[in-house]
A and B are shown apart, each in its own frame.
Chain A
């Protein structure tokens, strides 16, 4: 079974990609025996978070490629020996590099994976804060009309009334 024919073995979930697929849906199903439920769980978790390096984008649990099979067997062997999840991941990373794990390690570049969204949230809230503050400045010179309306709103449910009217329009 040529390994090289599995080069384009990728997860073809969406059609845009379909011109590149050469191997189809043929899930890898094997029956392993475990000492206990925890071991089985560790094994399942591991095969879901380890990537088959030869296939395009599949974990070793889903892939039917020979290399994925080898890695599954090795994972099974290590788990049976009582290795922890982290130890098995380290074992694989030592041989295949960080590419093999779907949970990326912290590096000077990957830090942005967490920082990027966080920074954006801060900027967003800063913007909201700035907007409100600018309005408050204007609010200091609230004209009489404006404060009347404020009064109204505070007093009753005028704004809701107005809104329902608007919607009915």
Chain B
């Protein structure tokens, strides 16, 4: 009965989204005020019904209702309740429901929190969001219904959640990632609404900026979580694999990063408006494209598609309609936009544009690297693979100008900047960051490579210029401390965000250049030594869990004969799916991780063991955390809250 209620609410939500699209637009056309105002009510109603559907599905999982196909294939009664809950979005159907639920959540948030915006503008925005929801509701209902029953013959127990997903990191990762993907729909809707209206002004940039920032924060943290999860769960010690699925999340992120910067220029200076709109369309379009790529099986597994060709075709048709339609609207309407502001070659506007260009070049690298194998095969040139060596090469090249400009950018004024005023800070920063980089490498590594020096230098270059800029800004009118306390949230947001990026670059450089990997044969009682560390294999232990059996290898780690840690690396077999899993042991630290993964038992009773020494790998995730925090600070800036109304009124009068 419950499943039917869920399905019914979903169908009602679908109808409401259709109304939400059509009725307000009709209202604008017919100058019917109540129809225009209905947008908010319809949006909130739609949210209520999809929430019912979502809660019902969650309940079905918690209650182990194996009469529902989706529950039976992705859960098991032996699963702890929190994994049963995360199993809701553990596979295609449920994750799509999560997607529409979040889309509706965002729409509703726009409806509730935009009281101060002109009612017609908000009606347009909500209508666009309604159209997107409609597409996804139809997709769920027609091709991927999570509420289908197994009746009359239902299984006694479920087939269990994929063991890879039985992990705490994975409870939060998908909702975060989806909040990011879906969140870009708001920026998209604002852009489309502005194009429809033919009014692309600074107000538009100002309205969509906090929304875009919110989505970007979620996406940043979502991707970082995913990378962290892959690192500790997959047992290969890697943190990024350039897999199409990862690329699918990375592309909207790059576009979003370019967008938040471009929006700030459009808001403050009124330039690059048509470029910003294109970025807003692209960020969400790339989210949609990513969805298509991973759900159609076009790049990854044709099996999923062969079983249901309707899915791939449906999303492709939706893609053509939404993206094609918006790009067409863009081509026609954006041509009317005139950019007014003026700026010099050496100005913050130019530097932001240059960084936008480099970001989009990076986006093109990822896009081509992901799609070209497909094209290559289709035009009859045979199958090729594009992976880590290619991407790493291209990104190591692109990061150099990007980081250099990033360091200079905040020091440069809007409109125009005299070059001789810049010389002193730049030369000082250059010297300082080179010295720090050299010292850093000699302190934390026994080896030296030029690539590492370059990477670490770029990181410190950003850090030093960021601090320098803060210092200059703070001491311009006050003493240092007073000046720092007077800086606005958005200024801190910029500095912390950039510093987070620098931290990430340093982490990546150190990990990529100085990681050590050892595959060794160890029996209980033996030990291996490298990089001042001694790994002593003490014992084997039984470590069974509720739905798996496991053996754990216990290691004692010493550094220069001093105790560091006891580490337990497990080898698990999940009983329902008969799947072996490596649960590595990780001793985390600020300057290095130690990582032990158990392989197979060898014929003589010893084990194949993989040991990693990963310097500064935590920085790779700490950086994005800083960036996420910076984004939140930015949203808390006063400009986007209290002052909004009055300024808007001033501007319009």
Contacts and interface: CB of A to CB of B under 8 A. Distances in A.
Interface of A: 7-8, 10-21, 23-32, 44, 48-49, 51, 56-57, 59, 61-62, 97-105, 107-110, 112-114, 116-118, 120-121, 124-125, 128, 131-132, 135, 138-139, 150, 153-154, 157, 159-160, 163-164, 167-169
A107 B177 contact: no
Interface in B594-622: 597-600, 602, 608-610
B297 A20 contact: yes
A18 B91 contact: yes
Given A23-B579, A29-B519, A13 B241 contact: yes
Nearest to A16: B294
Given A103-B389, A139-B342, A164-B477, A27 B235 contact: yes
Contacts of A150: 416
B127 interface: no
Contacts of A138: 342
Contact of A168 (B372, B488, B579): B488
Contacts of B415: 153, 159
Contact of A15 (B89, B384, B398): B89
Given A13-B230, A25-B236, 6 more contacts: A15-B173, A16-B291, A26-B579, A117-B365, A120-B364, A153-B416
A29 B609 contact: yes
Most chain B CB within 10 A, of A32, A98, A117, is at: A117
B385 A62 contact: no
A161 B520 CA distance: 63
Interface string B223-245: 00011011001111010010111
Contacts of B580: 24, 26
Contact of A113 (B386, B418, B490, B581): B386
Interface residues of B, number: 102
Interface in B365-409: 365, 368-369, 372, 375-376, 379, 381-390, 394, 398
Contacts of A118: 361
Contacts of A160: 413, 476
Q: Of residues B95, B301, B350, which shows the largest number of chain A Cβ atoms within 10 Å of its Cβ?
A: B301
Interface string B473-487: 100110000000010
Contacts of A105: 384
27 contacts: A10-B301, A12-B234, A14-B173, A14-B226, A15-B165, A15-B174, A17-B245, A17-B300, A19-B91, A24-B164, A24-B580, A25-B233, A25-B582, A27-B234, A27-B235, A29-B608, A57-B241, A59-B387, A62-B236, A99-B384, A110-B384, A120-B360, A120-B364, A124-B353, A132-B344, A150-B416, A163-B413
B344 A11 contact: no
B389 to A, nearest CB: 4
A86 B521 CA distance: 29
B244 A57 contact: yes
A15 B581 contact: no
Given A15-B165, A160-B413, A98 B382 contact: yes
Nearest to A113: B368
A117 B398 contact: yes
Given A21-B162, A29-B597, A11 B416 contact: no
Contacts of A159: 413-415
A129 to B, nearest CB: 9
B228 to A, nearest CB: 11
A123 to B, nearest CB: 9
Given A132-B345, A164-B477, A104 B413 contact: no
Contacts of B600: 29
Given A15-B177, A24-B163, A160-B476, A116 B364 contact: yes
Contacts of B241: 11, 13, 57
Given A32-B519, A120-B357, A159-B414, A113 B608 contact: no
Contacts of B316: none
Contacts of A112: 368, 372
A28 B385 contact: no
B358 A121 contact: yes
Contacts, number: 242
Given A15-B95, A99-B384, A21 B519 contact: no
B234 A25 contact: yes
B225 to A, nearest CB: 10
B495 to A, nearest CB: 13
A30 B246 CA distance: 27
Closest CB pairs A-B (n = 7): A29-B599, A102-B387, A124-B357, A103-B389, A117-B361, A27-B235, A99-B383
Contacts of B173: 14-15
B12 interface: no
A137 to B, nearest CB: 11
Given A15-B170, A29-B609, A116-B368, A109 B389 contact: no
B249 interface: yes
Contact of A51 (B364, B385, B394, B491): B385
Which of A32, A105, A113, A159 is the most central at the interface, judged by chain B CB atoms within 10 Å of its CB?
Answer: A113
B96 to A, nearest CB: 10
Contact of B414 (A61, A98, A135, A163): A163
A98 B164 contact: no
A135 B342 contact: yes
A31 to B, nearest CB: 4
B390 A104 contact: yes
A125 B379 CA distance: 32
B195 to A, nearest CB: 20
Nearest to A15: B174
A158 B325 CA distance: 46
B641 to A, nearest CB: 14
A56 B234 contact: no
Contacts of B300: 10, 17, 20, 56-57
B272 to A, nearest CB: 9
B629 interface: no
Contacts of A27: 234-236, 582, 597, 599, 610
A132 B349 CA distance: 11
Contacts of A57: 241, 243-244, 300, 387
A72 B291 CA distance: 34
Chain A CB count within 10 A is highest, among B233, B343, B389, B476, for: B389
Nearest to B174: A15
Contacts of B243: 10-11, 13-14, 57
